[in-house]
Structure 1
Amino acid sequence: MASKLQQLTSKACQASQFIAKHGTSYHKQLLEQNKQYIQDPPTIEKCNLLAKQLFYTRLASIPGRYESFHKELDYAKQFWKNRKDLKVEDAGIAVLFGLECFAWFCAGEIVGRGFTFTGYYV
C-alpha cells in the first residue's frame, strides 16, 4: 500500500511539474485559437448576461425537443403495431443497433474506470 501511495505521489509530482513548465504556453495558445468566443471586456455584467442567455435559450428549446421525442415515440408505437409485417432485415438492424448501444455503454464504463477491466487499479 505504501509503494502505491509513493507511486501516486511521484506521478502527481511529475504531472504538476509538466503543468508548471507547459501550462502557460498551452493556456495562451488555447485563448489565441478561441479568441472569437471571448467577450471583451470580461465584466461580471457580461457574464451574467451570457449565463441568462444560455439558460433561456435552453429553456426555449424544450418544446422542440419535446416534439421530437413524441415523434420518435409515435414511430416506435407504429413500429410495434406493425410488428407482424417486420422483415428479418429490419429485425437484424434493430438487434445490431441495440448491440452497438450496449458496446458503447461498456466502453464508457471502461473509460470511466480509467481503462481497467476490473475496476481496480493495478
Structure 2
Amino acid sequence: MSSDVLAHALVEGPADLNLVDAVHAALESLWNAVPDVSDEDRMLFALAVSEVATNVVEHAEGPDHPAVSIRLEVDPGALTAVLTDDADPALIRLDEVSMPGAEAESGRGLALALAALDELVHEPGQGNTWRLRRRRRPA
C-alpha cells in the first residue's frame, strides 16, 4: 500500500455470494472514510467491482471452495481493486469481450466493468488476479 492511500479495505473468503455482500459493505465503508469521492465514481467503480467479483464467484473452478481476496483502495487520483483467487486460471480474453444483444439474459458483467473502468487487467497464473482501476473525476 502506498503512502498516499486515503482508505483501504480487505475482503477475504470462499467464492460464494456472501463474498459479494461483503464487498458491498467494504465499499460503503470506503465511501464513509472518503466522502469526497463523486457519486459517479462510487456508482461506476462499485458496479465494476461487483460484476467482476460476481463473475469470480459464479465461474471459479478448481478447489471445492476457491478462496478469494479483494483489496480495495482509494487514493487522491484513483479507485483500485485487486481480486485474487486460487481457482483454475480463467480462459478469458478481455480484448474480445463485448456487450451481448438486448435479448441475452447474461454475459454483460465484464463488458459493463470495461465500460466503467479506465483499466481492467486479468492475469492468470497460480489462480487469477484481476486489477481494476478508475481515475477519480472531479465531483
Bucket of the pairwise TM-score, normalised by the shorter protein: under 0.3
* Structure having greater relative contact order (Cα 8 Å, sep ≥ 6): 2
Higher share in strand:
2
Q: TM-score, normalised by structure 2?
A: 0.21
Higher share in helix:
1
